[in-house]
Amino acid sequence: MDAEPDLFKAIGDATRRIILDELTERDGQTLFEICGRLAMKHGLGSSRQAISQHLAVLEQAGLVRTRRQGRYKFHHIDPSPLRSIVERWPIDREEPKS
> What residues line the site for its own copies (CB under 8 A)?
5, 8-9, 11-12, 14, 17, 20-21, 24, 77-80, 82-83, 85-86, 88-91, 93
Cβ proximity to DNA: between 62 and 90 the closer is: 62
Q: Which amino acid is at 48?
A: R
With CB under 7 A as the contact rule, the residue among 1, 2, 40, 70 that binds DNA is 70
Collapsed DSSP state (helix, strand, coil) of residue 68: strand
Q: Give the nearest distance from C-beta 21 to its own copies in angstroms.
A: 8
Residue 30, phi-psi category: left (phi > 0), alpha (psi -120 to 50), beta (remainder) = beta
**CA-angle at 61, arms to 79 and 70, nearest 5°:** 85
CA distance 46 to 16: 11
- Chain contacts with DNA (rule: CB under 7 A): 9, 12-13, 15, 30-32, 45-50, 52-55, 57, 70-73
